[in-house]
Amino acid sequence: MAATLELEQAQIVPVPRLGSPEDLSRRLGGLIVVEYLMNLFGASPKELFGRVDILAVLDGVKKDRTLFPEAVIAMSDRLNAKQTTRHATSPKALGARGRCKLPARD
């Protein structure tokens, strides 16, 4: 059974399992990063943030050596490099025409 049972006010209530220690560790790490970001944005005197602002903050946090050890950053860089070297498939590469004609309207 994936859940244990607890008695609460004369009802049986399923209690979900917490998961493996590694999974809990990842979740805790994610929660810490989210809390850190909330504190960064909350402490800023700026009221509105644009896309570029948010991406700059996220990039700074991603490269923060106090949050992420050097090995983790290197692993992230390797994963990003693999994703950016994949070739995009275009309609021409798949043998289709570069442009398709829309059906004529009546």
Say what the pLDDT of residue 53 is.
Answer: 94
Q: Looking at residue 58, what is its pLDDT? A: 92
Listed residue (72, 58, 80) closest to 26, CA to CA:
72
The pLDDT, as a whole number, for residue 1 is: 43
For the whole prediction, is pTM greater than 0.85?
A: no
pLDDT in tens, the chain (106 residues): 445 445 455 567 665 666 787 888 888 888 998 999 999 999 999 999 999 999 999 999 988 888 888 888 888 788 778 776 555 555 555 444 444 455 555 5
Q: What per-residue confidence (pLDDT) applies to 85? A: 58
Asked if 67 and 36 count as a contact pair (C-beta separation under 8 A), the reply is yes
Contact present, 40 and 67 (Cβ < 8 Å): no
